[in-house]
Amino acid sequence: MHDIEPHFKWRDKYNSSKDDKSPFYGKVYDEFRYTQKIYNYFIHPQWDQIGSPTLYIKQLHTDYEEGYVILELIGEWNDAITNDIMFLKREIIDAISLNGINKYILLCEHVLNFHGSDDCYYEEWYEDVVEEEGWICFVNTLEHVKDEMQQTRLQHYVNFGDHLNDINWRTLKPNMLYSMVESIIQNGVKQLTY
């Protein structure tokens, strides 16, 4: 896991440590010391902590004019034991939303497991963004992660599933990814498996 680096090809367009509106503003990264772990596995030092011992994040791009953010995640998303959604919502999403962000693209291909609990924070997040005509989507979820999310009934609040999987986002510019995801959502394609 230590060699899985957050996507870096957009850094010339956006760097969260240089964005004074970002929760990661001013963070200094040590490229040589690996100190963060998910269980017993070191992870690349470019990943950012959110308060969870198993889930880390990278704010890859934010466009305040269009009102969207692209976040990449790695680790185990565990709402059942460590309440990871609480950390994500309170520490990251709430801070980002203060600056007019109402569309969230979460890249989930490195989320290796998902353990659901209740859906209260997802419902709150959904209500926050739907008032502003926004949305939340999880892109490239692994099949077993998608299944667990469906069992937790997240499809009522979050767009995810086959229509948002297999997106080769690394070949796109951030605005192209945003346009693609927005088009999928606006065309009414929704996860219908309940």
Is the predicted pLDDT of residue 4 greater than 80, yes or no? Answer: yes
- Cβ contact 118:145 at 8 Å: no
Residue 81, in any domain of the structure: yes
Residues 6+ apart with CB under 8 A from 24: 16, 17, 48, 59
Banded model confidence at residue 187, pLDDT cuts 50, 70, 90: confident
Q: What is the pLDDT of residues 125-183, one digit of tens each?
A: 999 999 889 999 999 999 999 999 999 999 999 999 999 998 999 999 999 999 999 99
Instruction: State how far the alpha carbon of 30 is from the alpha carbons of 17, 43, 44, 48, 112, in Å.
Output: 13, 12, 10, 12, 25
Is 150:194 a contact under the CB 8 Å cutoff?
A: yes
pLDDT band at residue 32 using 50, 70 and 90 as cut-offs: confident
Q: Tokens standing for 31?
A: 């490229």
Is 177 within a domain?
A: yes
96 domain residue, yes or no: yes
pLDDT band per the 50, 70, 90 thresholds, residue 194: very low
Flag whether 139 is in a domain.
yes
Q: Can you tell me the distance from the alpha carbon of 135 to that of 67, in angstroms, rounded to the nearest whole number?
A: 11
Tell whether 123 is covered by a domain.
yes
pTM score, whole prediction: 0.94
For tokens 């999403």, name the residue.
93
What domain range is 128 assigned to? 50-186
Q: Is residue 44 assigned to a domain?
A: no
Which single residue is written with the structure tokens 């970002």? 22
CATH number at residue 130: 3.30.750.24
Q: How far apart are CA 25 and CA 83, in angstroms?
A: 24
Domain assignment present for residue 18? The answer is no
What's the domain count of the chain?
Answer: 1
Strand 37-38 versus strand 41-42 pairing type: antiparallel
Residue 189 has pLDDT above 70, yes or no: no
Residue 68 is assigned to a structural domain of this protein: yes
